[in-house]
Each structure stands twice: as C-alpha cells, then as structure tokens.
Structure 1
Amino acid sequence: MRERPHPTPSAVHGTAGAQARPSAAITRQVERNSLDELIQAAEAEHGPVTQEEIDVLRDRLHRARPPEQP
C-alpha cells in the first residue's frame, strides 16, 4: 500500500483561502442588500435623493478622508 504524502502548507492554506472568498462575497452581498433596503425606506419617507445631493455628500466624504500615504 502506498503512503499518502502529507499536504503542504500552501495546499492547506490554498483551500482555506478558496473557501473564504465565497464567504466574503456572500457577506458583501448581504451588506449590499441591507443597504438597498435602508435606501428604499429612506426614499419612501423623504423622497428620492438627487444627483446633486449625492455629489455634495461624496465631496464631503473625500475631504474628510485622511490623505493617502505614499
């Protein structure tokens, strides 16, 4: 009977990494779905958000973000 070789660390971690990617993708999709629900509820209560409002808020977020380090 032939002995099986022990798995290499890269083989073991590769499998775990492959399993983590779908899990992370599912988590992101659930977060997006939740965000979509919040947006729909807010728009139902306050009306749709205009592109101008989006641009103003996006600009505020960019200015609040610390500068990137080289």
Structure 2
Amino acid sequence: MATRKITITVPEELVESIKERVDARGVSSYIAAAAAHQDAMDRLRELAERLEEEHGAVTDDEQQAALDRIAAIDGRHDEQHSPSDEAA
C-alpha cells in the first residue's frame, strides 16, 4: 500500500502516551492503525444506516437473537480450544 506523509495536530498528552507504548518509528504506524480502525467503524456505521433505511430498524428480539447466537459460537469455540484438549 502506498503511503503519503501528512501533518496532523495531536494533543501533546496523547503523543506522549503513544510514545510510552511504541518506539519513535512506531508512532506513525500506531496513528495509521487508529485512523484505519476509525475509517472501518465509519464505513460499518454507514452500512448499518443504509441497511436500516432499506429494511427497517433491528428489533430488540432480533438483537437478542443475534447476541445469543454469538454467545453460542463463542461457547463452541471455547470448548474446541480448551486447555484440557491441548493437554490430551
């Protein structure tokens, strides 16, 4: 992926906090990753808005059903990757 150098203004406290976590060369990567994450979240929100316009709002029952399904998938994943299986 091509890169381009830009100038941004960031609160000094934030820069210092980031520098505590990464070396000097890592600051750009850290901020680029944060920007990529925000871009992905913005795109996801835009998609959700388009889907809601087209199909209507998600009901409480639909949301709970999705959360229950995620919990079930997480449970199966945990069972498949439990430490007792790895020791056997």
TM-score exceeds 0.5: yes
Match of 1:28 in 2: 37
Over the matched positions of the two proteins, sequence identity in percent amounts to 29
Equivalent in 24, 35, 53 of residue 15 of structure 1: 24
Equivalent in 39, 51, 58 of residue 49 of structure 1: 58
Gaps of 5+ in 2: 1-21, 84-88
Tell me, in whole angstroms, the C-alpha distance in 2 between the residues paired with 1:26 and 1:64.
30
Match of 2:69 in 1: 60
Q: Radius of gyration: which is bigger? A: 1
Deviations 1:29-64 (A, max 9, x none): 100111011101111111011222112101101211
Equivalent in 29, 40, 46 of residue 37 of structure 1: 46
Pairwise CA RMSD of aligned residues? 1.8
**Count of residue pairs brought into register by the alignment:** 58
Runs of 4+ in 1 over 2 A off after TM superposition: none
Match of 2:8 in 1: none
| Larger RCO, structure (CA 8 Å, separation 6 or more) | 2
